[in-house]
Each structure stands twice: as structure tokens, then as C-alpha cells.
Structure 1
Amino acid sequence: MRRTALAFALSLLVALPLQAQQASHASVTRVDDASMTRAAQLRDAALKDDTGWKVVESLTTEVGPRVAGSEADARAVAWAKAKFKQLGYDKVWTEPVTFPKWERRSEHGEVLGTHAQKLVLTALGGSAGGTVEGEVMRFPDLAALQAAPDGSLAGKIAFVDYQMQPFRDGHDYRNGGGIRGGGPSVAIHKGAIGFLMRSAGTETSRLPHTGNTRYERGLTPIPAAALSTIDAAQLARLVALGPTRVKLALDCGFDGEYTSQNVIGEITGSKHPKEVVLIGGHLDSWDHGTGAIDDGAGIAITMATGALLKPLKPARTIRVVAFANEEQGLYGGRAYADKHAGDVVNHVIAAESDFGAGHIYGFDSSARDAQPEAIQQFMQVLAPLGIEWKPNEGDPESDIGAMAQRGMAWAWLGHDGTHYFDLHHNADDTLDKIDPKDLAQNVAAYAVFTYLAAQAQGGFGSEAKALEAGK
């Protein structure tokens, strides 16, 4: 039977009494030897602990999909508050996050005429509702659509048929996600009455991928949907045969505003309670799957990390945030940054898990140049987990980005995302896709990072700075 988080952490305290911290130059951040040894023991014990798995199993089973603004959103908030308390966090509270409420009700697509057949598709988040019929005009990528003359698609449906490619760091999402986010507005400029895209996914299946889109101000929105990769390929073949008409019918749209909550749990620092190491993930998900990899895993990894560290009495406060409505516009992260902008300097460093539960292979930080000695110490404990130093490859993920823009130091623990976009925003994002061993490695990595950051003597460069215009 696996030991509980509390049992194994207490065993570390017994096995390794606290030692006097070594003196160091004021400008050099480093971790004392006792904490380094304890972090290595924490790492090894975390690999055998199943707290993270139990948390993600609970969230995906008891709440399931949790679209921002839905009834399940409220249940997810209640779940998170209860789970933080169950895991023994010292403080649990919520902070309001208000946003426009978008709803999906029904969706349908079909080819008309000689080759009549159903198309499997899903409305993009934020899409306008409506029913349109028109000839499909295929474009291989967003650049090709942008190059079309304004007004040239009058009465037609634009179809961007770009196939995302899998990469460990997921960098092709800038193309797939860029089409989803900006394609409908470009199509409107060209005169289109509707927008279709090949799903921003890397698998071959009939499961369409949803995800958010936005319309430029001043434009009249048009229905916008993503085809499954198989249906996109089918439509492309039909278009190659000759003029092809499609009917697109979406019942969806905005319905007022909704106020959800960022749910926050804290382990109070034993020596520097006002100094915060921030970790977290986003609590909301899309509606087709159960939000396991996106981002139930991130919630589980960071909630488990705080629970494992509590008995070690970390010097700094550990703050775990379950952010609201990341999917439809980073609302939770922005709300957190707005509320805590005046306290950037006390946010010593932050990391967010929002790229699935694949094996963590890389580490990077904004402190890479300012505190190389501390980074080297982090890597000493992370390396046995198969994690390599990857300077300049990481960035602050999703919701912590707004605080990073205000000057907060950040770290990146890079997940292997080779297969992440097989599941991203589609119906296959379910618990069974998470490998428990990879999840345990994730928790171990976050536990090491968070504990060492909490114990470090000195900071990592957090310093309040003016927000750039338009950010």
C-alpha cells in the first residue's frame, strides 16, 4: 500500500533534522545543504505517492467537464474548496472572476447536393450562432486566406485546411491555434458567411477539437466551427472534385455575464509567510471530454505538491491557485494579476502546469541568468527525474503570464507534448489517457521545484514593473 502524503513527508522530517543554513552573499540565491538533501528524499518519495492521481480521478469523475459559466463550473469551485481542505491546506479562499457567458446548445454540418453527407464538427468557443449555406472555398493555411482579396468570398464559406504536426514542445499550435483564434475575422473581411477549419489537433479521428475564437471589434460575427481531421480531409477531396456546398447550423452564443471564482489554497510559510511561491493550473475545461489532461492534471499536480510539502514546514508560503476560465480568455489569470499587482515583489517565483501530464523533460526560468547557482542546485535534484536544463526554451504558461508581465519571476517545467494535441479540447480528453507513472513524475518535479524555491535564501528577480500598453 502506498504511503499517504502526510506519512512520507513526516518521515523526511524525522530522518533529516533541520540544520543551520549556510551563509551566502546577499545577491546570490542558494539553497542550504539540509534542504537540498530533503528535496532529494522528497523527490524519491513523491514518485511512490498517488495523491496526484487521486485528485485528478476525483475531479474528472465527480465533476466531469466544467465549461466556464456552466452549472458544472459552480460544482468545480465547490469541489476545489473541499479538496484543498481535505488535503490539509492552512487557508482556502476564493476570488471572483467575471466574464461573458458563452453556451453551446446544438451544432450540425452537412454537404449538400450530389455528394450529400454529414460532417462531424463542433462550434468554436465564442462562435456566433446561425445557419448558413454556401459554396466552400478551401485554403491550405491562414496566410492563403489572408491573401485572398477583400470581398472575394461573398456568400461563401471559408475552409482553412491546415494539418497540425506533433512536436514535443507543441510549437505548431501557434499555427493551429492561430487559425482558430484569428481565422473567422479574416474570413469576415473576405466576405465569407461562415468559417470552417480542420481541427487544431494532431490525430486522425472523427473527434473534432473545440477551443476559443474571437472576432475583431466592429465585425459582424459569423458561425465558426472545427471539423474533425477525418471530415476535413473528406471535405478537401470533395472540393477537389468541383464546387461543393455546405450547410452549417450552430445554436450557440453569449448569454449575459457569469461570475466564477479563482480557488486558492495556501500552506503558510514557517519563516517568511508573506513571501509566496505560486503554482497552479486552471479549473475549467471544455465540454466534450472530462478535462483530464487540460487541465485536471495541472490541478492535481499542484494540489498534490502543496499537500506533500505541508509537513515539511516550508520557509515561504506555498500558494496553489485553481484558476477560473482560462479556456475562454485567461480570465482567471488576469483577475488574479489585477488583484495582486501591488504584491509582485512578494511573489518570489511561480510555475504553472497547463500542458497535460506527459513526462517532464525540461526546466527553464526567468532567473536563468540572474541566479545561475540556484538554478544549478535545482537541476541537481531534478536531473534524476530525467529533466534537462533547457535555457530559453520555456515561458510562463497561460494564467501566470499576466503576473509575469508585471515583473514576477517564473519557472517552466516542460511536459512532453508529442501526443497532447491528439486529445486537446476533444472528447478523448479523459482520465484513462493519463499515465499514473508520468503523473507521479510530474508531482515529484513540482514538489522539488516548489520546495527548493520556498527554502532558497534570496530571490529570483521578481520586481514590479509597468505593464506595457495593450497588455
Structure 2
Amino acid sequence: MKKIITGVLLASSFLVSAAEPEFTAQQLKQVAELRTNASNSDLSYQLLESLTTEIGPRLPGTENDKKAVAWAQEKFQALGFDKVWLEEATFPEWRRFSESGKILTPSEQTLHLTALGHSVSTPKDGITAEVILFETLDELIAAPANSLKGKIAYINYRMNRDIDGNGYGPAVRARSTGSVEAAKKGAIGYMMRSVSTAHHRFAHTGGSHYKDGVTKIPNVTIANPDADQIARLIALGKNVTVNINVQNEDRGQGTGFNVIGQFNGTQNPEQYVLIGGHLDSWDLGTGALDDGAGVALTMAAAKHISEIKRPKRSIRVVLFAAEELGLWGAKAYFKQHAKELDNIVAAAESDFGADVVYGFESNVSAQSLPVVRAIAKQLAPLNVQYIAKNTANGGPDLIPLKNATSAPIFDLHQDGTDYFDYHHTADDTLDKVDPEKLKQNTAAYAVFAFMAADARTTIKPKPAK
């Protein structure tokens, strides 16, 4: 009889434990206070204004990039982070010096263009050749051998507009490898419609890649209105000849730094929630949307958390280096921390502009979903919808983390409907950021990071396949 009673008591105790909430009433009161404070604070906008005004564009390896590292260190320290440190990252350094373009025939017209990252230069007087139009990268790949000898290949693929930016990936294929495929067919230059949804006359830059054993040819994008002009001329049956003149330089290996700030946890400081963005930017604008906003709002979110309570686990903000040239800071970070990746209890990156967060999604173990749902409930007052698919991908700088291990990754989905009007163009400037929307982003990241760090149970990743 004693054994039966003991068994009943143990079972009862287990049920009580299993039903124990992830967050106490006191914690939820703190969450509400945090949400209100962050929603009413100008801190994230002040940081963004400082970064984009006092530093400006931050192409990896430039003097401005170095100034941005010093800026981030100083701001972390001024905000009272417990630990602030640098971690080295190397990358292939590249510079843009000058660029111009013209339609020469059937009539002379200015061509608004920009070199893609890592593009080689043209001769000093540029290259002049007839343009051969392809609608897609696959059509270019299918072109006969040597069919583009002495020509400039042009891909006219138009990116679609959507809230989640789903048109970006397909368009980037042409940006990444188009010049390689054009060179294989004998082309002396490569040109493409900007990977952009804009109607403005700004060309879009971005990363591109060459391939060993394939001739490197100049690699540019043209503004969408100019792309339309060329397409119309070719549709009229005109032979379109253009001159492209870009002067760039590959400078070999460069060195930069990830800048990291951390508020230490009170119970398990070795475990941490990782939030952040990338500190570098392209050189055409001032990198306000990509990714100054992500830098500013995650720094501010962590500061707001520290003013309410130091959670059980640490809050770590990582400002990654050289993302635009190929995720080099992220690769260095996750390589350096490879033996302790299990300490990351949640990771999210803000790198999609500064429009409102509309959705919250996880990629975690089934056992951790009660924590996720509790967080989602506290994000609802910010008009953030819970997306229960549990298939979050995280931002670009989390790709090396996903490749290295299974990790608890989160998406705070931002409205990207207009993001690609400005992305990687000279129009990526502070005036495109709505301070109120930035506050909502900051509050969402603050609530998420605080609750993930202070939950009763530790969030776990999905089991490795």
C-alpha cells in the first residue's frame, strides 16, 4: 500500500511540474513593461542616425569600415554592456572607383549602371559592343558555344515584389554567376537588370563570383528604367550598342572585426541568446536599411532588457563583419565558437530593413514549442502574428550556424514589400526609415530575446538528422 501511495504522489508531482508555466506572473509583468518601454524609446533611431550620419557607407576594408568598428565598441560601452570585444575576420577586399555607361546606337543616351562586387575593371576607355538580350540565366546558359563572341550579354530578368521578398533568390542567381556563363559563351562583358523592385533610376549592386579557369569579364547592373529602355529598343528590332566603363580594384585579403557586446545572465551566463546584424554596407548609400537598422535595433533591444532585468541567460549582440562580400564575419564567428555552439539557446538576425515585424516563427525542438507559443503571445500586442510552421531560416549571417549544427533559430519576419526599392542602391539612406516602425522592431526583438533568455526551460534545437 505504501508503494502505491508513493507512486501516486510521484505521478502527481510530475503532473504539477509538467503543468508549471514557462513564465511567472512577475516575469510577464516585466515583459509588458519592456514592450512598453521599447515601443516608446527613440534609442534605436538615435543609434541608426549616428551610424549613418557620422560614419556613412561601410564597405569592408575601407576607412569607414574601421571607423564603424570603433563606433560600435564605443556605443556598446556607453550603453553599459558587461562585455565588449572584437573578433577578427578576413575577407577578399575590393574597391569601386568610377563607373559610367552609354547607349551609343541607335542613339546616344546615358546608361545608369554600377559594378557588381568583385567585378574586374574595363580598359580605361571602357568596352563597346552590341548587347544580346536574354530573359533568364537559364536562357543564357542554353546559348550556343561562342555565340556571344565580342558581345555584351544582358539578362533582363525582372524581380517580383512580395512581402517576404521571395523574388530575390531567383534574381540573385543571375547576379552571382551570370558573368561566368556569359564568358563561357565568349562575351566580353556582362550586364543585367538590377535585382530591384524600384522604378527609380538607381542601379543595384551586390555580390558576384568568378570561376577559376573562366575569363573574368566586367560585371554590371543597370537601373530598371534603363533596362526597360534597352528592352524596348531591342523589341523594335534595333541593334543596341553600349559602352561600359568601370574601374575597380581587387586588393587581396583584408581584415575586419566582428564587434560583440554582451549582458551576462544571472544563472547560466555561458548560455546566450544571439541577436544582431551586419555592421558593413555597400558603398553607394549609407546602409540605413541594410543593415544599419538591424545593428541599431538589436543593440537597443538588449539595452532595454538590461534596464528591466538581467535574465537567467546572457544576451549577446553580434555585429558581423563583411557580410556583403560573402558572410565572412559570420563564417569566422561560428568557426571560432564551433565547440560551444550548444550554448546558443536562440538566434535571430535583423537584416531585412526597418518595416514592421509582422510574423514570428521558430525552428526548434517540439519540446520547446510551449516556450515559443508563450513568446508569441507576448508579441501579439505588437501586431506580430505567430507562424506555427516551425521552419524558420534565420538571417544570412546565421547560414554558417545552420550549416555547422542544428540550432534554435528564429525569424522575426519584416514586411519586405518595399525593401528592394532601396536595397543595395544609392537610395539606401536614413530618410527611408520610419522611426515608429523601428520602435516596433526594437520592441519585438526585446520581448523575444528577453523571454528566450529567461524561460524556465532552455530552448533546444531540433534533433540532428
Quick one: structure 1 residues 23 and 263, their matched pair in 2 at CA, closer, same or farther if it must change by over 3 Å?
Answer: farther
Partner of residue 231, structure 1: 226
Deviations 1:34-88 (A, max 9, x none): 2222112211221111111111011001100010111111000000000101111
Alignment of 1:62-461 (within 5 A): 62-130=54-122, 131-241=126-236, 242-311=238-307, 312-367=309-364, 369-392=366-389, 394-405=392-403, 406-461=405-460
Give the whole-Å Cα distance in 1 for the aligned partners of 2:190 and 2:20.
54
Give me the whole-angstrom Cα distance separating, in 1, the residues matched to 2:221 and 2:16.
56
- RMSD across aligned C-alpha pairs, in angstroms? 1.9
- Structure 1 stretch displaced more, 47-56 or 25-34: 25-34
Deviations 1:184-216, CA, capped at 9 Å, x for gaps: 111112221111111111011111111111112
What is the CA distance between 1:334 and its match in structure 2?
0.6
**Partner letter of residue 227 of structure 1?**
I
Distance 1:120 1:153, change over 3 A: same
Shift, 1:221, TM fit = 1.0
Q: 1:298–1:29: structure 2 CA closer, same or farther, 3 Å change rule?
A: farther
Equivalents in 1 of 2:293, 2:18: separation in Å?
37
Mapped partners of 2:261, 2:193: distance in 1: 39
Distance 2:155 2:408 in 1: 38
Q: Which residue identity is paired with 2:371?
A: A
Deviation at 1:113, TM superposition (A): 3.6
Q: Which amino acid aligns with 2:30?
A: R
Relative to 1, partners in 2 of residues 1:151 and 1:23: Cα closer, same or farther, differing over 3 Å? farther
Greater mean alpha carbon deviation, residues 250-259 or residues 378-387: 250-259
Query: How far apart are 1:373 and its partner, in Å?
Result: 1.1
Which among 26, 29, 33 is matched to residue 41 of structure 1?
33
Check the 8 A contact 1:347/1:462 in 2, yes or no: no
1:379-428 Cα shifts (integer Å, max 9, x gaps)? 11001111111234631111122112222211100000000000001111
Q: Whose Rg is larger? A: 2
* Cα gap change, 1:368 to 1:44, in 2 (>3 Å): farther
Q: Which residue of 2 aligns with 1:11?
A: none
Unaligned 5+ segments in structure 2 are 1-13
Range that drifts further, 356-365 or 252-261: 252-261
SS of 2:280's equivalent in the other structure is coil
TM-aligned CA distance change 1:226 to 1:179, over 3 Å = same
1:53 aligns with 2:45: yes
Q: How much has 1:29 moved relative to structure 2?
A: 8.9
CA contact (8 A) 1:60 1:292 kept: yes
- 1:171 is aligned with what amino acid? N
Aligned equivalents of 2:233, 2:375: Cα separation in 1? 55
Cα distance between partner residues in 1 of 2:158 and 2:141: 17
Asked if 2 retains the 8 angstrom alpha-carbon contact of 1:363 and 1:390, the reply is yes
Give, in whole Å, the separation in 1 of the partners of 2:425 and 2:461: 37
Q: Deviations over 1:332-364 (max 9, x none)?
A: 111101001110111111110000011000011
Tell me the SS of whatever aligns to 1:154: coil
- One-letter amino acid matched to 1:381: Q
Residue 58 of structure 2 aligns to which amino acid in structure 1?
R
Q: Percent identity?
A: 44
Shift of 1:25: 5.1
Task: With the length of structure 1 as denominator, give the TM-score of the two structures.
Answer: 0.91
Change (3 A) 1:223 1:378: same
Three-state SS of the structure 2 residue aligned to 1:371 is helix
**Alpha-carbon distance between aligned partners in 1 of 2:365 and 2:461, rounded to the nearest angstrom:** 13
Shifted more, 405-414 versus 441-450: the winner is: 405-414
Equivalent position amino acid for 1:363 in 2: F
The residue type paired with residue 174 of structure 2 is I
Check the 8 A contact 2:363/2:462 in 1, yes or no.
Answer: no
